[in-house]
A = this chain, B = another copy of it.
């Protein structure tokens, strides 16, 4: 007894999803075939459409279906400020805060020597060209506050400062609503060092 070959092919293909092993892939395949063929057909269409249409913005490197993304084309935005983020998801989060009106550069990753991701994989040459176009005056580094995100921010900061640009980093400190008892010591130490006069 064995599965029909198209089901085996589907199981094998589903293993390309991040974090899905052989058992989960088989369970997902059975689920789709038994309970949600409509969903499976929808996913098939969505995947092929996205593969065909989605590309990277020539200016900020985010996902777009056009040569230049909507954000970069928006003339209402302050082109002197450039915010560097790791992913489009991070960009969305910052946009939701309504605190930044400049433009973005999306790295689509972070420096990670262990995974073999170096400056070239992050298109840092594209970022440097963008930052030194004569319009940008300040680069705001908004990579994650993980070890890799910090290292990435440090690397970019060093590279851009030698070119005479103003480079800043999102503030670190106690989260809004945070109770000191439950915040880790490293965060409190940083908040103490960076304390501000009121």
Q: Are A42 and B18 in contact (CB under 8 A)?
A: no
- Chain B nearest CB from A124 CB (Å) reads 16
Q: Are B89 and A4 in contact (CB under 8 A)?
A: no
In A1-55, which residues have CB < 8 Å from any B CB? 1-7, 9-10, 12-14, 16-18, 26-34, 36-37, 39-54
Main secondary structure of the interface of A (DSSP, over half): helix
Q: Mark the stretch among A64-72, A158-166, A168-176 that contacts chain B.
A: A64-72
A: number of interface residues (CB 8 Å): 58
Q: Are B87 and A30 in contact (CB under 8 A)?
A: yes
CA distance A26 to B88 in the complex (A): 10
CA distance A49 to B14 in the complex (A): 13
CA distance A49 to B48 in the complex (A): 13
Would you call A91 an interface residue if the criterion is a C-beta within 8 Å of the partner chain's C-beta atoms? yes
Chain A interfacial positions (CB closer than 8 Å to B): 1-7, 9-10, 12-14, 16-18, 26-34, 36-37, 39-54, 63-66, 69-71, 87-89, 91-92, 95, 104, 108-109
Quick one: which of B9, B30, B50, B88 contacts A88, CB cutoff 8 A?
B30
| Contacting residues, chain B, for A47 (C-beta < 8 A) | 10, 13, 32, 40-41, 43-44, 47
Q: Are B46 and A51 in contact (CB under 8 A)?
A: no
CA distance A13 to B50 in the complex (A): 11
